[in-house]
């Protein structure tokens, strides 16, 4: 979703208003978890843990996994859940640390949290402060979570335009981890975040001395300025999200008006090896997911910023959709679009959003969030003819307001979802096409740092 520091674009103001409007509603505004839900027979809803304490009234965002724990970002901080039994997730702890949007990753006992709203300082007690003030802070916070009951704030790294999302790229020496920071929407009135912002920031974090984390490079990805913008598409002024595939030394960057394939064999010096645009259909290149061997990548278009009703017949099947590309000789070759066919109401925010691969050898299957469109499990083994094989979809919120699934990810046999304004949910899919994935057991998963499952 595209909400960070205060912006001047009217569309973002509209989306922000939609997000804030829900806070006046009770947590039970949707009724019991499955009241009126439509779903395929192969999906079972196992559990729903409501937002509580300092995170209640916030917005649930991304999820990371380590061992038998799930880490859930929230505009108000983050929560840690015990998922040893996926049917009975239990809250371990939560940390109040306001600042949108709290994109989250975990690695070797460290937790990384993105802050993309201008704050008075880098503490968790900071308050909102205008980005026009030079001393304002935004960037990446680092916590020690080896004791999940007592997370400890250990470091912060300021980045010029904040941190909307970030991606971990492990150092081959295993002594450090690189954090690729994505941010966008510069403004001439912001002392630190000046146009054209045609770069990303790379933070190096020594694993045994995380307090020494620092920006070590800010490579320019768009020396020509990138996509210039169109009537329906955003001008490129930074990247929204990057997904790395370290086993093949590549990454896919979703950068507003551009989809980019990067060579990350030298983590401090990534190089653009291919770039694609889609002025006719894509409004905002938002995120990416590789298949299991890195021979395909799908890009998501977040038309409407996450607050728009983009799953209606009027919008159609190719806008606010997911685009499938084959990677041929390190080039992105477009094949088709995928979009859910269950049309949503005109007051339901719905668009292609965060998902992850379900690792089945010989097949390309992923689960993906669509906000109030619920989530979809779909097969893109045939890149030209993707098809849905499972889904879960609740009716519109009553009264109408922002909501739905922000991120829906597969991890070790279960599907986990952040319902933006109500709960952390767990599902299971039972289907012969996805059952082989249950044999895959991961020690850790940051969805934007994809493991190679085979190939």
- 136 assigned to some structural domain: yes
- 453 assigned to some structural domain: no
- 454 assigned to some structural domain: no
Selection from 355, 371, 434 nearest residue 63 by Cα: 355
Q: 73-88, pLDDT tens digit by residue?
A: 999 999 999 999 999 9
Indicate whether 451 pLDDT > 70: yes
Spatial distance between the Cα atoms of 97 and 139, rounded to a whole number of angstroms:
13
Q: Where are the alpha helices (DSSP H) in 105-231?
A: none
Selection from 165, 262, 254, 268 nearest residue 215 by Cα: 268
Higher-pLDDT residue of 30, 101: 101
Spatial distance between the Cα atoms of 33 and 363, rounded to a whole number of angstroms:
31
Overall average pLDDT of the 400-404 stretch: 97
Predicted pLDDT at 454: 81
Q: What is the mean pLDDT of the chain?
A: 93
- 194 assigned to some structural domain: yes
Indicate whether 8 pLDDT > 90: no
Indicate whether 414 pLDDT > 60: yes
Helix (H, G, I), strand (E, B) or coil at 12: helix
- 118 assigned to some structural domain: yes
Residue with the two structure tokens 């299957």:
365
Indicate whether 96 pLDDT > 50: yes
Domain with residue 389: its CATH number is 2.130.10.10
Spatial distance between the Cα atoms of 315 and 140, rounded to a whole number of angstroms:
36
Helix (H, G, I), strand (E, B) or coil at 343: coil
- In the chain, the percentage of residues whose pLDDT exceeds 70 is 93
Q: 254-286, pLDDT tens digit by residue?
A: 999 999 999 999 999 999 999 999 999 999 999
Domain boundaries, position 41: 10-445
**Where does residue 144 rank: exposed (0-12), middle (13-18), buried (19+ CB within 10 A)?**
middle
- 4 assigned to some structural domain: no
DSSP per-residue letters across 86-130:
TTS-EEEEEEE---SEEEEEEETTEEEEEEEEEESSSSTT--B--
- How sure is the predictor about 34, in pLDDT bands with cuts at 50, 70 and 90? confident
Predicted pLDDT at 35: 72
DSSP per-residue letters across 275-330:
EE--TTT-S-EEEEEE-TTSSEEEEEE-GGGGSSB--STTT-SSSS-EEEEEEETT
CA-based angle 249:169:165, to the nearest 5? 120
Domains in the chain, number: 1
CA-based angle 59:183:408, to the nearest 5? 40
Structural tokens at position 259: 């989809």
User: What is the number of residues in the chain?
Assistant: 455
Helix (H, G, I), strand (E, B) or coil at 245: strand
Helix (H, G, I), strand (E, B) or coil at 338: strand
Predicted pLDDT at 5: 44
334, 343 in Cβ contact below 8 A? Answer: no
Indicate whether 13 pLDDT > 90: no
Q: In DSSP terms, which residues pair with 251 in a beta bridge?
A: 244, 262
Indicate whether 9 pLDDT > 50: no
- Let me know how many helices (H) and strands (E) the chain has, helices first: 1, 30
Structural tokens at position 80: 């840690």
Predicted pLDDT at 2: 57
Indicate whether 16 pLDDT > 50: no
- 176 assigned to some structural domain: yes
């Amino acid at each position: 979703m595209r909400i960070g520091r205060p912006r001047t674009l009217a569309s973002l103001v509209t989306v922000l208003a939609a997000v804030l409007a829900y806070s006046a509603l009770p947590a039970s505004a949707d009724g019991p978890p499955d009241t009126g839900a439509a779903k395929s027979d192969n999906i079972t809803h196992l559990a729903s843990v409501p937002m509580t304490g300092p995170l209640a009234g916030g917005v649930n965002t991304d999820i990371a996994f380590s061992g038998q724990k799930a880490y859930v970002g929230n505009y108000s901080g983050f929560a840690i859940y015990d998922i040893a039994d996926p049917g009975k997730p239990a809250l371990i702890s939560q940390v109040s640390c306001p600042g949108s949007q709290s994109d989250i990753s975990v690695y070797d006992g460290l937790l990384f949290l993105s802050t993309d709203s201008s704050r008075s300082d880098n503490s968790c007690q900071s308050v909102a402060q205008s980005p026009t003030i030079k001393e304002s802070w935004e960037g990446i916070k680092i916590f020690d979570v080896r004791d999940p009951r007592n997370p400890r704030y250990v470091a912060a790294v300021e980045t010029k335009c904040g941190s909307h999302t970030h991606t971990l790229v492990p150092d081959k020496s295993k002594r450090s981890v690189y954090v690729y920071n994505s941010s966008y929407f510069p403004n001439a009135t912001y002392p630190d975040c000046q146009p054209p912002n045609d770069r990303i920031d790379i933070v190096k974090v020594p694993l045994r001395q995380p307090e020494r984390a620092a920006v070590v490079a800010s490579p320019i990805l768009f020396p020509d300025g990138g996509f210039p913008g169109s009537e329906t598409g955003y001008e490129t002024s930074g990247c929204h999200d990057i997904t790395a595939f370290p086993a093949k030394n590549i990454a896919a960057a979703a950068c507003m008006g551009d989809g980019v394939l990067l060579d990350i064999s030298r983590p401090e010096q990534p190089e653009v090896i291919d770039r694609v645009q889609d002025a006719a259909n894509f409004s905002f290149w938002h995120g990416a997911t590789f298949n299991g061997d890195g021979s395909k990548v799908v890009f998501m278009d977040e038309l409407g910023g996450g607050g728009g009703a983009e799953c209606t017949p009027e919008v159609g099947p190719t806008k606010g959709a997911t685009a499938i590309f084959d990677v041929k000789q390190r080039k992105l070759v477009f094949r088709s679009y995928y979009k859910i066919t269950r049309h949503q109401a005109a007051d339901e925010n719905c668009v292609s959003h965060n998902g992850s691969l379900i690792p089945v050898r010989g097949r390309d299957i992923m689960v993906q969030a669509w906000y109030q469109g619920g989530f979809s499990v779909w097969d893109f083994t045939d890149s030209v003819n993707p098809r849905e094989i499972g889904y879960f979809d609740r009716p519109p919120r009553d009264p109408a307001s922002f909501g739905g699934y922000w991120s829906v990810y597969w991890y070790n046999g279960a599907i986990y979802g952040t319902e933006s304004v109500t709960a952390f949910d767990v599902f299971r899919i039972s289907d012969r096409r996805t059952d082989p994935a249950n044999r895959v057991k991961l020690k850790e998963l940051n969805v934007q740092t994809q493991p190679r499952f085979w190939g």
